[in-house]
Structure 1
Amino acid sequence: MKMHDVWKIYRMGEVEVPALRGVSVEIKKGDFVAIIGASGSGKSTMMNLIGCLDVPSRGSVYLKSQDISKLDESDLASLRGKTIGFIFQQYNLIPSMSAFENVVLPLEFLEYDDREAANRAREILISVGLGDKMHHRPAQLSGGQQQRVSIARSLAGDPEIILADEPTGALDSVAGIEVLNMLHRLWKEQGKTIIMVTHNLNLAKYAHTTIELKDGQITRISENDEVNKK
């Protein structure tokens, strides 16, 4: 995906507040990228644009060679659903549904038939180590297990891009490392493009490319070739 001279400006009464200021960057297919920066740096705004959850005030955001600002909401939702899987800090699981049902749900929107969706959900839950927990509801699972359900749900439609928003923020250190290792395996073994948004600079060591934001602008882009050896 590419961003070219992207501005995102929010209006607060008569005041304009720029959250992103002329951001241009390309995230290559198959990369593991960490977007880092302090609170207020523009990380969340950039994540929303990359995830096709918002459109820029000025400039262009291209996903699969399509400028998202030119798409209507229906086409944008379709592109998002087929291309991007989301992992959230607070999991965003539906409490009344089992782990299995939470993973099946996005497949229904992607128009999988019932048998195919069920088989896919079981396969993914087993792959993330939850084969014996798939009929548990979120309240019956630990934080780390809930995040694994979230990861399974993000993988359900076999997206090219996994967008992880503070994926370890609500976890203890052990569960957090487990989740990061899982993301790393998805990158190395399945070739997924991983985009991780975080304020924790220590997490950047898991990524191959780090994009640092400050006051809505990119201040540094660096690559860590050592990450390939992990």
Structure 2
Amino acid sequence: MDEKRPSGADVLSALLTGKDGRQVLVSETGVSRGKATAGNTSLPLRLRQLSAIASSPVWDPVLTAMPAPPVHDQTAVIPRMTGRQISHVIRQLLPAGMRTAQSGGSDGFGHVTVDDGHGKSLVAVNVQRWKAGDADIAKLFAKAETLPDGTRVSIRKGPASGGGKGAVEWSVDTLRKDGLRVVISAVNARAYQLPGTRKEPALDIRQLQQIALDAAWGRAALS
């Protein structure tokens, strides 16, 4: 299960990234018992054990045999914010009166569960730093709306990722001229892969776009 898709299951992951860009990812997933932590989980292995597996020299022959990642791939997307930083910015930018609960994430990704008085709703943000004018990311926004300042904006409404019954996801994907990409999504459930518990997400498209375009992301990504 992708750690970047918070769900009702416990997930622990260890990611080792070498200087040349080669990576070893070790993850385990189990039945949820509330908020997953290193000491409160149904999972058989602890985080330090996963880290030991990922960093084991047994992977050296495998990694050596792999082709070196293209230089473009190593530098195109550089997460500059931790999950905690992103979740903190989300909380700061939420509309007044919005209550928040669980939060979490990983490098480049953060999420917060919010409640506007009509049920819980997941709000998730992915922050990426691309080279200004990168051709690959430009293709993704080829049909997007262009704002007066050059920021590209793409909007999506559809079934939520993971397919919870009745769950819908609203997303605003933005790319600024300097290469900063901020993607924000809201789901009408407290997590991905869970059934929808309200008719619509707690934030509408206008609010999502306002948060995604806020100058706070540019300041935080450079800090």
- With the shorter chain as reference, the TM-score category is under 0.3
Normalized per residue, which structure has more helix? 1
Alignment TM-score, normalising by the size of structure 1: 0.25
Alignment TM-score, normalising by the size of structure 2: 0.25
Higher relative contact order (CA 8 A, sep 6+): 1
Q: Which has the larger radius of gyration?
A: 2
